[in-house]
Structure 1
Amino acid sequence: MIKHHPSRALLEEFVSGKLVSSVSVIVASHVEMCSKCQEIVAQLTEKAALSAFEMEDDALFFDESELDAEIAMALDDSNFSGSAMNEQQTLAIKSITDLPALELGHLSNPIIELDDNGTKVPLPTAIRSIGLKEWQGIGKVSRARLTLDDDERRTSLLRIAEGGHVPPHTHKGFEITLLLQGSYTDEMDTYRAGDFIWLDGSQTHTPKTEEGCVCLTVSSDALHFTQGVSQLFNPLGKLIY
């Protein structure tokens, strides 16, 4: 059962199209996995549509009597010259057919699922057409960055192998994690597939996983390790960011 969701304010920003691309992608991925948030997004979308048209729920989109009059006028041959209309139609068709054919570049096949040591991990629709760079790893932690250009924000797939963990750390910026498969635990809770976790510099945690997990992450800055000799963990921090 999914326990952690985007805030309603964040979902409102998502529906209005105001989120930056990386955050919009990870919110869309959560919504795809979460029936509760799907209902909220549907309600917010309907509300936004009604607001855009400045209409009440029971308002009509058009006046049927005016529509009938428009149709009658369009069918009345006396309203235009047949020869003039035919000439206009011919010119319009010619302007279209004379356009050069579009040359479409090669479209790569979308990545539908990820092979995690023999286990198939379905990927959210929002990231299937985004390129994926090579996997890099240290110990039981590995990541593959998505080719999503969004200023300093990095979007990645993150794997922590069975029995793996990340040392205690906080974040210089923010980190959003969407769990795609498996589970992990930190000082605050246990998280499972579909959970959406937004952390910043006010939280310190030590993610651990017994069964292993695969996550979609968005980070705006590097990790800051809070225990031990932090310089030793810098390569891991750069890898995750």
Structure 2
Amino acid sequence: MNRRRAAFELLIFGALALGLRFAFDPLFWRYAGPVSLILTLAILLAYLRRRGEGWSSLGLIRLPGLRSKLLLAPQTLVAFVLFAASIALTVFGGQAVGLEFMGEEPPGVEERWGDVAGNLPMYLTWLGIVWTSAAFGEEMFFRGFLITRFDAVLRGAPLSGALAVVLAALFFGLGHYYYQGLRGLITTAGIGIAFGTAFLLFKRNLWPLVITHGIIDTINFSALYFEWE
């Protein structure tokens, strides 16, 4: 992919994702992020297909043979370990250096998810969102799309792959700022770096990240629903 096309796609689809999110925010604040992301991905898919491409160009690759499928288990474990390390570094590390707000839950989290506890329809609704917009959608956009495009724009620069991961992670963090505040931005940016590193480590295979992301969010919402301490 040439640099000019990659920069054009970053500008257009990055602006589209942000613009739709802000447009939907006054209408349905809780679901503005998931809906805007799914619409952005639908438009992105139509664009890619017109160019003779598909999801596989962003990392949702076919897994031929038994070996590649069996590798998903250890790859998912590696992704989970990187996720846990990012949480430890941002949340607990932040508190250790005096960032006390890293140990406090942002008020927007309770406002957005507070009615999941004991509410089966709401719980199932969010599980549906977890496996569509979050696990699939966020990995496709923030890892598969943004990292590949940033890497193409930065091609030839020192550590272009690492820079692409960091830039995509910052965008990922900003996408969570509107309801999680600065703590959420830092935490999710750290997760973005962890998952972006795994994306490159797995040779741009998104499947382990989609699975890991979905499992983690499913556990989180199950904890809310069942009111686990």
Q: TM-score, normalised to structure 2's length?
A: 0.22
Of Structure 1 and Structure 2, the greater strand share is in 1
State TM-score, norm by structure 1. 0.22
Task: Name the larger-Rg structure.
Answer: 1
